[in-house]
Structure 1
Amino acid sequence: MRKSLFLIFISLLFFQCKEAVKPPTLILYNAKVWTGESENSFVEAIAIRDSLIISTGNSEEILALAGAETQLLDLGGKLVTAGFNDAHIHFLGGSMGLTQVELSGAENYEAAINSTLKFIAENPDKEWITGRGWQYTFFESGLPDHETMKVLDIDRPVFIKAYDGHSAYANPKALEIAGLDEQTEFTGFGEIVKDRSGKLTGALKESAMGLVGKFVPEDTFEDQLNGLRKGLTYAASLGITSVQNASGSENDLRLFQKLYENGELTLRYAAAFSVSEETPSDQLDRFRFLKDSVGTANPWLRADAIKFMIDGVIEGHTGAMLAPYSDLPTTDPLALGQLNFTIEGYQRLVKTLDANGFRLYTHAIGDRGVREVLNAYEKAMSENNSQGKRHRVEHIETISPDDIPRFAKAGILPSMEPIHAEPGTTTVWSKAVGEERLPFSFAWKSLLDADAQLVFSSDWPACISINPIRGIHDAVNRRNPSGYPEEGWVPQERISIFDAMKAYTFMGAFSSFEEDRKGLLKAGYLADLIVLSDDVFTIDPMKIHQVKVETTIVDGKIIYSKE
């Protein structure tokens, strides 16, 4: 018996030693590898075995680890970084949008109309023409109407949302199918927009969009899987290796679980479940069950977050403000925006879900919306004695300077989208906010200077571009790719390339308690990394937007190559 045990021990020891010297499966060398640990943490090479990074260092010492079957990539000095973590995204909606009218690339009204008409002509059998992406700046009033969109007065329903998903245009046929007319009243969160004579313009805001949207035929589960496959390919080409959904249902989670089971998942997915005051208690119980059953051990899937939406958007005057909008009379019903919750109901839900171990995201765009979220988070963490939960406030497009220090003090994370502040798209936004509040617009640097932990994302498809590189360009320059405006838009809120890259890599991992497994390039971390065409740390900052992802590696496997 003792001899058998001794032989087993020797065998195990031999196996462990053999594993310890097992060569890498992939080596990237002759590179400039930014490990992410500090602003100047660069090495020349990185060794990967299967799904993990096993070593970093100079090219000579890393190449010495290679075996006969190790794949070697000579990068010719190219920059390597951790893959991008898009920490606020609506991935299913964005992916399905790739099969619909897609206007995020349209730079003006004419381009948007031409793209829509082209889609209609190329899809004669589509029952509904749906899509997304028009900008408020395309229209003099900030919103489309039947006059500006008269070329879409066709015998098929057209329902196209704004780039941010908070407003939509429905053509006369779509309004007819929905049974909406001049007598229709809406008293919920949002608005059926009418002209001065009381006639419908076709524009709908916030929840009023559902009056038409509910008539759009639903996609099947297989349709959604096919859409997600397109989305995964697109994300890989942009270097996105992790995403955190910013809304969703159990169905979203099941779709990603199916892709994972099929071996098709090429990015790491974190689910967030949407909750409102109307969410029944048994649904909250179901979300708790899903959180616990998915757990946090699987590096590909997690389901431990809840998403609230406390207000709307600045452009639609539905973002909740501390002082009236500058472009509305103070007597206007939307002069102070709108709240999507009662304060009591929101605080009650925050306290309950905080106590149940969820990470919380809350959409808050207006300065009052931001304040109410901070109030609720602080109150819940105090009463539950639950510090260190890394709850997040999403968007924070405008903020009272008094509230900026509260993030670091309470350990609450500002989660923001630099692409939303791209100059040239903010005309309607700026007019509504007004000169007095403008210095606190998308206040990334002010938050960093106050020691807040800044997290970046795209909000896709509620954005003009999902591309992290373009968002990073905006964060560093506060000027659009054309160089407008020359002095920068609210230039005092520019941040360094290091802070922008950190917010789009490591901080996404930090926000989901995964900073010990991804977001850095060091031994023991998941091998999720990208190769860039140019060195974003040294090139002319105004050329950042031109940088391309040449290679994307997830779990130690090359999933995208530009060649």
Structure 2
Amino acid sequence: MKLKKTLNVALASLLMSTLFSGFAQAQTNATNPISKKADVILQNGTVYTVNAKRDFAEAIAISDGKIVYVGTNQGVKPYQNSKTKVVDLGGKMVLPGFIDSHSHVTAAVETIFSVNLVGKESREDYLHTIKEFVQKNPNLKGLKGFGWENPVFPGKGPKKEDLDQIVKDIPVVLTSGDHHSVWVNTKALELAGITKDTKNPEGGVIERDDVTGEPTGTLRETAQDLVLGIIADYSEEEYKEGILAYENMAAEKGITSVHLALAVPGSNALKALKALEAEKKLHLKYRVSLATDPAKGPSQVKSLVEERAKLNGPDVQVNSVKVFMDGVIEGGTAALIEPYMDKHNAKPQWDPQVFNETAAALDKAGFAMHVHSVGDAATKETLDGFEYAVEKNGKRDSRHQMTHLQIVQPSDIQRMEKLNVVAVTNPYWFIKSPGYYENIELPYLGEERASSEYPMKSLINNGVKVASASDYPITWEFDPLFGIQVGVTREEFGNTDPKLVLGPEEKASVADLIASFTINGAYASFSDKITGSIEQGKEADLVVIDKNLFKIPSTEIGSAKVLLTMEAGEETFRDATLK
């Protein structure tokens, strides 16, 4: 028995050696290793390349920010000279740098300059936190905040009277954790001119008292826009501080590229991002989606083309637009084919024909569309528009994306594959979240829809390319390792009850999740030629992790630790334990 085990180990070692040497030979033949010495060598690692063959390697050589060799420890030696920095990984795992394919980076400004309600669990907690903030900042001209959650206020949402007890003389505008609703006080409603006679804007809801018709203090979707301008926006300098704070957090989590999923041309937020680019202070690759307006239809495409030409830069790539097709389940504003369980429903935010014509115009102009689509009716209308664009313009490498995809019809998954639509999923949400599942999703959707929400494996099995995203700050803890674990397990951390697994048939593999946070994210942003996998010629966007994700229990992936992050060969994070 001992002899058999020894032979098996020897055979495994031989196979691994053959794998590495063959891979290394292919790399060596492409470049003369003598002519291009490395600035940095990572060796003695478990390198999962995420290339087309999903090869493993042992070592990487980096020169001028690019990968010049991937292969064996032996094969990397000719790239070393006296100036080369050599990092012995001691078997630790190396992956391509993580890509967050839908994030609201500039919202990080809120964590510094407004009241933070994230993690508070009750109405009383919210009010106490708000009161403390006001007491510490007595000279406010308006109060902004974020992070309250809909399940704390079932039904019509939080009330203005609660805020009036704390703040009467200045406007208060507090954004919900999902950023699809705001909670305001009476002063804010007055300054915005919102009364019982104010009509709901297209695609929005002003929550009202059932008896009097008076606004209650909660505004949803496009109704938020009625009050967002009454308090001065954060300054460009404040946004810059927020963006840099986000970059530090992202580096600690192994993130090297991010899709800023909504940017308004001319806004302080976008000015700040471009200023940091000009100052060469950015350490992430950015892709930006410009905001669209359902009321403007195809007429807005000309100005979007002009903005794209002005904004495109070396670190900030602007080649897509953001489309909100519907809202969210918790706000009752996601568009469903079958009504909510209380019989109400919400319509998509775009008129179908207007969206068709706008989609065709955007597609013709070379934009990728990044569409917020939560409900199945929204997904159907979006795909109809994509099909119309193909009919009008012919097929092209469009890489349009649909994000969130909470409720999806199987037939529409097949349409996504046919149209080469990238699904941008949020694996952090693939759980029966305490508070949300029993208080929102079950009563709003019913058991059948709630238990089958957020498909992933079905998308992959049908040939849809899947990228993953956090939707920060909606997902407050946006570590991709957390996302990988939940995507594989579809359960809360520490859960031991099989009944609390959300749709076990939709569990994806570790390899699927890694691809979704790396090469598929690069594909979605048209950057797969330069990043997303560890291959010769690509930029050295890498993350070193203390554990091999393929060798540990899936329930431990989220506790793995990022030790080193590199973007284009530059260290953006190094843990003190890595020598």
Offset of 1:345 from its aligned partner?
A: 0.7
Equivalent of residue 405 in structure 1, options 408, 414, 422: 414
Q: Which residue of 2 aligns with 1:306?
A: 321
Q: 1:122 to 1:468 in 2, by over 3 A?
A: farther
Q: Which residue of 2 aligns with 1:12?
A: none
Report if aligned partners of 1:96, 1:228 keep a CA contact under 8 Å in 2: no
Q: Distance in 1 between matches of 2:564 and 2:166?
A: 41
Offset of 1:80 from its aligned partner?
A: 1.3
Q: Distance in 2 between matches of 1:349 and 1:374?
A: 13
Q: Which residue of 2 aligns with 1:417?
A: 426
Q: Distance in 2 between matches of 1:382 and 1:523?
A: 39
Q: Which residue of 2 aligns with 1:124?
A: 138
Equivalent of residue 261 in structure 1, options 266, 274, 278: 278
Q: Distance in 2 between matches of 1:69 and 1:142?
A: 65
Bigger shift: 473-482 or 445-454?
A: 473-482
Q: 1:52 to 1:203 in 2, by over 3 A?
A: same
In structure 2, stretches of 5+ residues that fail to align are 1-30
Offset of 1:290 from its aligned partner?
A: 4.0
**1:379 corresponds to 2:388:** yes
Equivalent of residue 523 in structure 1, options 536, 539, 544: 536
Offset of 1:40 from its aligned partner?
A: 5.5
Letter of the structure 1 residue corresponding to residue 432 of structure 2 = P
Q: 1:227 to 1:150 in 2, by over 3 A?
A: same
Report if aligned partners of 1:29, 1:63 keep a CA contact under 8 Å in 2: no
What SS does the aligned partner of 1:216 have? Answer: coil
Q: Distance in 2 between matches of 1:274 and 1:321?
A: 24
**1:223 corresponds to 2:238:** yes
Q: Distance in 2 between matches of 1:526 and 1:163?
A: 35
Offset of 1:77 from its aligned partner?
A: 2.0
**1:470 corresponds to 2:482:** yes
Bigger shift: 181-190 or 426-435?
A: 181-190
Please give the TM-score of this superposition, normalised by the length of structure 1: 0.89
Report if aligned partners of 1:479, 1:485 keep a CA contact under 8 Å in 2: no
The C-alpha deviation readout for 1:44-86, integer Å capped at 9, x for no partner, is: 2211112101111222332442111111222222211111111
Equivalent of residue 349 in structure 1, options 355, 358, 363: 358
Q: 1:277 to 1:485 in 2, by over 3 A?
A: same
Q: 1:32 to 1:124 in 2, by over 3 A?
A: farther
Q: Distance in 2 between matches of 1:90 and 1:144?
A: 24
Bigger shift: 494-503 or 224-233?
A: 224-233
Report if aligned partners of 2:114, 2:144 keep a CA contact under 8 Å in 1: yes
Q: Distance in 2 between matches of 1:248 and 1:453?
A: 25
Q: 1:196 to 1:90 in 2, by over 3 A?
A: same
Q: 1:117 to 1:250 in 2, by over 3 A?
A: same
Q: Which residue of 2 aligns with 1:162?
A: 176
What SS does the aligned partner of 2:428 have? Answer: helix
Equivalent of residue 514 in structure 2, options 501, 516, 539: 501
Equivalent of residue 559 in structure 2, options 527, 546, 549: 546
Q: 1:20 to 1:359 in 2, by over 3 A?
A: farther
Q: Name the count of aligned residue pairs.
A: 539
> Structure 2 matches for 1:101-500, cutoff 5 A?
101-106=115-120, 112-141=126-155, 143-146=157-160, 152-153=166-167, 155-198=169-212, 199-251=214-266, 253-279=270-296, 283-292=300-309, 300-326=315-341, 328=342, 330=343, 335-424=344-433, 425-427=436-438, 428-483=440-495, 486-487=498-499, 488-500=501-513
Q: Distance in 1 between matches of 2:491 and 2:128?
A: 27
In structure 1, stretches of 5+ residues that fail to align are 1-16
Offset of 1:451 from its aligned partner?
A: 1.0
Report if aligned partners of 1:256, 1:269 keep a CA contact under 8 Å in 2: no
Q: 1:324 to 1:292 in 2, by over 3 A?
A: same
Q: 1:527 to 1:403 in 2, by over 3 A?
A: same
Q: Distance in 2 between matches of 1:101 and 1:239?
A: 28
Please give the TM-score of this superposition, normalised by the length of structure 2: 0.86
Bigger shift: 149-158 or 461-470?
A: 149-158
What SS does the aligned partner of 2:250 have? Answer: helix
Offset of 1:455 from its aligned partner?
A: 1.2
Q: Distance in 2 between matches of 1:384 and 1:365?
A: 27
What SS does the aligned partner of 1:306 have? Answer: strand
Q: Distance in 1 between matches of 2:131 and 2:365?
A: 49
Equivalent of residue 525 in structure 2, options 492, 498, 512: 512
Offset of 1:123 from its aligned partner?
A: 3.1
Q: Which residue of 2 aligns with 1:57?
A: 71
What SS does the aligned partner of 2:350 have? Answer: coil
Report if aligned partners of 1:419, 1:464 keep a CA contact under 8 Å in 2: no
Q: Distance in 2 between matches of 1:111 and 1:505?
A: 38
Offset of 1:340 from its aligned partner?
A: 1.1
Offset of 1:286 from its aligned partner?
A: 3.2
Q: Which residue of 1 aligns with 2:25?
A: none
Q: Distance in 2 between matches of 1:456 and 1:238?
A: 15
Q: Distance in 2 between matches of 1:178 and 1:495?
A: 47
The C-alpha deviation readout for 1:239-281, integer Å capped at 9, x for no partner, is: 2111112221334554333222211010001121111233387
Q: Distance in 1 between matches of 2:232 and 2:95?
A: 42
The C-alpha deviation readout for 1:412-471, integer Å capped at 9, x for no partner, is: 111121223343243313321212323431011111111111111111223343222222
Q: 1:195 to 1:514 in 2, by over 3 A?
A: same
Letter of the structure 1 residue corresponding to residue 461 of structure 2 = D
Letter of the structure 2 residue corresponding to residue 496 of structure 1 = S
Q: Distance in 2 between matches of 1:316 and 1:305?
A: 27
What SS does the aligned partner of 2:257 have? Answer: strand
Q: 1:310 to 1:140 in 2, by over 3 A?
A: closer
Q: Which residue of 2 aligns with 1:560?
A: 573
Q: 1:121 to 1:523 in 2, by over 3 A?
A: farther
Q: Distance in 2 between matches of 1:496 and 1:429?
A: 26
What SS does the aligned partner of 1:324 have? Answer: coil
